[in-house]
Amino acid sequence: MCAERLKSFGELDLSRQILQALSEMGFEEPSPIQKAAIPLALEGVDLIGQAQTGTGKTAAFGIPICEKANPRFQAVQALILTPTRELAVQVSEEINKIGRYRQVRPLPIYGGQSIERQIRALRHGRSQVVVGTPGRVLDHLNRGTLKLQHVKMVVLDEADEMLDMGFVDDIESILKQVPTEGRQMMLFSATMPPEIRKLAQRYMNDPKSVAVSRDELTVPLIEQVFYETRERIKVDALCRIIDMEEIGQAIIFCRTKRGVDELVGALEARGYFADGLHGDLSQQQRDRVMRRFREGKVELLVATDVAARGLDIDNVTHVINFDIPQDPESYVHRIGRTGRAGRKGQAITLISPREYRQLRSIERLIKSRIVRKDLPTISDVSERQAENLKNQIVKILQKSHLGNYRSIVGPLLEEYDSIDVAAAALKFAVEGVDEQPDEDDEFSFGNTGAAPGMVRLFMNIGRVQQVKPQDIVRWIADESGIPGNIIGMINIYDRFTFVEVPEEHANRVLSCMHQNFIKGRKVNVEPAKARR
């Protein structure tokens, strides 16, 4: 089958169990390295893949391994060597997910973990795949606690790193213990120095190289920047960037369907108007999301590459790569969605420290540098917001249609300082009515983004739990005893609901509702955060 024409995992010769696992992992279609490598790997030929972290290389060898291993045979059938323990654990986790329904189980063995525990696990014999660092694997071989006589597949992952770390002798000693009869070897490496070619020549049998084809690409002339951030704070980093930028409408790209859903949830919970697009949506749902985005009701469209394909939208001011694309070509396709029709646009990419290589290969393809920017600090963001406010005021002053408002200010100036009056007016414009606690106010809600006189509450149930507006009204009215007809606006999202209740009843509603049960589920109810 021609790798270029191959589009979906379904077109690969994969079992139902593997396809189900991939779908649950949120993978929509094979990445380019997977399209190229999987069919060959399934045929059993030896492979050399030039690919770095972030391209989907782990699944490129992990899927064929899980497909070909025999789950009922209690012996190690595949061995994967990695340069570091972090990578061993990561690869093992990915194989565990891919092999979940075929009952193919990996075991990571690496230095730093108690060897006794590993010996026990090896003796147990439940793992068909061993993922390990060369030193520790050799250690087990020397002790006789790991046996390779049934190994049919060997992977050298990040081979260049292993060589740089001086593992070449260890690797050779290990390879000598794997029977050559019927052995399949796969080697993945970001670079291909001569030592790797030599290693391949010595141990591989007529290996095929997998390279991903390059289309002719036109790179749009737009500003391209990247920010380095860690996984743990990625969503907050994104929010700060959004707050600093003058975003009209943005498309935010995630790697998986699940990533899209999670990010939409996280953004909604922070008060942004976001919606998601991925392959699991029906045509009707997709049309609804696109309509809302076009009408400007949604400012952030979160999407996978597959879902964004064929989208025809013109006014996108920003393309944000929340996850770096898996291959440089998709970067170019993604960013081509902004800066259309001669408009200004910006492409922003978030990367983790491990993804620099990916970034560099994108730079090589587009033949230019992507500029690094430092993440904005909280005070940058508030300065920016102050600047925006000032600009808005200057605009209003310049138009000077102040009419009746001037007559309200006049008498106030006789009693108060003019700067104080202007500052109070500004505060009112930004925060709405004064919700600062008076002396005897037991609890102030601050600005919850509600209509005047109301408090907006956030609850962590939504459409997914099949919640309807009438459920919310009935529930609040029953539990707190306030009349249903004074409950304000209700907005139900997939996993959250916002509901507004009159300020004077808000404490009561909160204390009756929070941690109470609805639809058999304990629900959190909290004052919402203000929208931006």
- Grouping H, G, I as helix, E, B as strand and the rest as coil, residue 262 is helix
Q: Nearest approach, Cβ of 28 to ligand AMP (angstroms)? A: 6
How are beta strands 47-50 and 184-189 bridged, if at all?
A: parallel
Which of 361, 448 has the CB closer to ligand AMP? 361
d(CA 152, CA 180): 8
Residue with tokens 């304990």: 522
Q: Nearest approach, Cβ of 41 to ligand AMP (angstroms)? A: 14
Which of 55, 448 has the CB closer to ligand AMP? 55
- Grouping H, G, I as helix, E, B as strand and the rest as coil, residue 30 is coil
How are beta strands 454-459 and 497-502 bridged, if at all?
A: antiparallel
Which of 75, 281 has the CB closer to ligand AMP? 281
Q: Nearest approach, Cβ of 416 to ligand AMP (angstroms)? A: 58
Q: Nearest approach, Cβ of 303 to ligand AMP (angstroms)? A: 13
Q: Which long-range contacts (CB under 8 A, 24 or more apart) does 200-204 make?
A: 200/48, 202/172, 203/175, 204/46, 204/48
C-alpha 455, offset from chain centre: 32
Which of 66, 178 has the CB closer to ligand AMP? 66
- As to burial, measured by CB atoms within 10 angstroms (0-12 exposed, 13-18 middle, 19+ buried), residue 503 is middle
What are the residues facing 499 on neighbouring strands?
A: 457, 490
Task: Say if residues 350 and 227 touch (Cβ distance below 8 Å).
Answer: yes
Q: Nearest approach, Cβ of 169 to ligand AMP (angstroms)? A: 27
Which of 220, 241, 264, 252 has its CA nearest to residue 380?
241
The sign of the CA dihedral 108, 110, 112, 115 is positive
Which of 92, 447 has the CB closer to ligand AMP? 92
Which of 210, 238, 279 has its CA nearest to residue 57?
210
Which of 147, 357 has the CB closer to ligand AMP? 357
**What does the binding site for ligand AMP look like in residue numbers (CB under 6 A)?**
27, 30-31, 34, 53-59, 94, 255-256
* Phi and psi, residue 425, nearest 5°: -65, -40
Q: Nearest approach, Cβ of 150 to ligand AMP (angstroms)? A: 26
> How far is the CA of 310 from the CAs of 307, 336, 376, in angstroms?
8, 12, 33
Q: Nearest approach, Cβ of 255 to ligand AMP (angstroms)? A: 4
Which of 56, 328 has the CB closer to ligand AMP? 56
Q: Nearest approach, Cβ of 22 to ligand AMP (angstroms)? A: 7
Which of 486, 503, 501 has its CA nearest to residue 437?
503
Q: Nearest approach, Cβ of 4 to ligand AMP (angstroms)? A: 16
Q: Nearest approach, Cβ of 158 to ligand AMP (angstroms)? A: 10
Which of 256, 315 has the CB closer to ligand AMP? 256
Task: Say if residues 527 and 446 touch (Cβ distance below 8 Å).
Answer: yes
Which of 94, 261 has the CB closer to ligand AMP? 94
> How far is the CA of 353 from the CAs of 9, 232, 235, in angstroms?
30, 13, 16
Which of 62, 462 has the CB closer to ligand AMP? 62
